[in-house]
Amino acid sequence: MEGLTSLMTQARAPRADAVRNRKKILASAGEQITAHGPDVGMDEIAAAAGVAVGTLYRHFPTKTDLVAAVVAEFVARVAGDAEAALARVSSGTRALDELTAFLGRVIEASVTDRAVKAAAQTLGAEPGDRAAEDRAGAAVAALIHAGQADGDIHPDVTVNDIYLLFTTAPTDQPSVDRWLTLIVPGLTTQARPTDS
């Protein structure tokens, strides 16, 4: 019975070339949608990935499925970043500094993935697996609580406030640093530093 279970598990594992193709397709989709907008064709995405159109459709039966996978990959990267920031706080870094830097990184990434997000909204694509979003939310909540415990973050700041900042950030503007300078005082109990 053990041998049969092992054989079935091996049969279900994706082949190495299928895994490589999926990664190439996702990378290409992100680049093509960013460069050409949400109307870029599946043929163009497949060509840029160096795979046949049939291969693309085997992995992603519809464009909505493809965009949802690209969005899910972005959310997973954000979750990993938030967890890494929280780990640094556990090692002694100030939570406010980590939260501010995290905000900056997510907004910077949103600047380049802006077209992908527009495509997701246009096509109604949402990542099907909420696990990464839940991980990100939990890590951001822990960062906020740590900053509140330090007395650096206003007691009324919530994860929803951070999400509000993400969704209203000026991703079509070049200066994320200036945006952070203006919004951080709304999060912190500290006075805004003045320029000398």
Q: Which of 15-29, 59-73, 112-126 is least confident?
A: 112-126
Q: Which of 17-31, 44-58, 100-114 is least confident?
A: 100-114
- Going by C-alpha positions, the residue among 108, 107, 119 that lies closest to residue 162 is 107
- Amino acid letter at 103? L
Given a contact cutoff of 8 angstroms between Cβ atoms, the answer to whether 30 and 70 are in contact is yes
- Amino acid letter at 100? T
pLDDT at 163: 87
Highest mean pLDDT, choosing among 127-131, 141-145, 165-169, 190-194: 141-145
Bigger pLDDT: 1 vs 180: 180
CA dihedral of 28, 33, 38, 41, whole degrees rounded to 10: -40
Average pLDDT of the residues in 69-79 = 85
- Average model confidence (pLDDT) across the chain: 83
- Going by C-alpha positions, the residue among 121, 18, 27, 132 that lies closest to residue 68 is 121
Given a contact cutoff of 8 angstroms between Cβ atoms, the answer to whether 81 and 140 are in contact is no
At 61, phi and psi to the nearest 5?
-60, -25
Given a contact cutoff of 8 angstroms between Cβ atoms, the answer to whether 59 and 22 are in contact is yes
Q: How confident is the model at residue 196 (pLDDT cuts 50, 70, 90)?
A: very low
| Token pair in block for residue 116 | 């992908």
Bigger pLDDT: 19 vs 193: 19
Provide the percentage of residues in the chain whose pLDDT is more than 90. Answer: 42
Residue 125's CB is within 10 A of a number of other CB atoms, namely 23
Bigger pLDDT: 43 vs 196: 43
* Residue 129: CA count within 13 A, CB half-sphere: 13
pLDDT digits (tens, 9 = 90+) for 78-128: 899 999 999 999 999 999 999 999 998 888 887 777 666 665 666 666 666
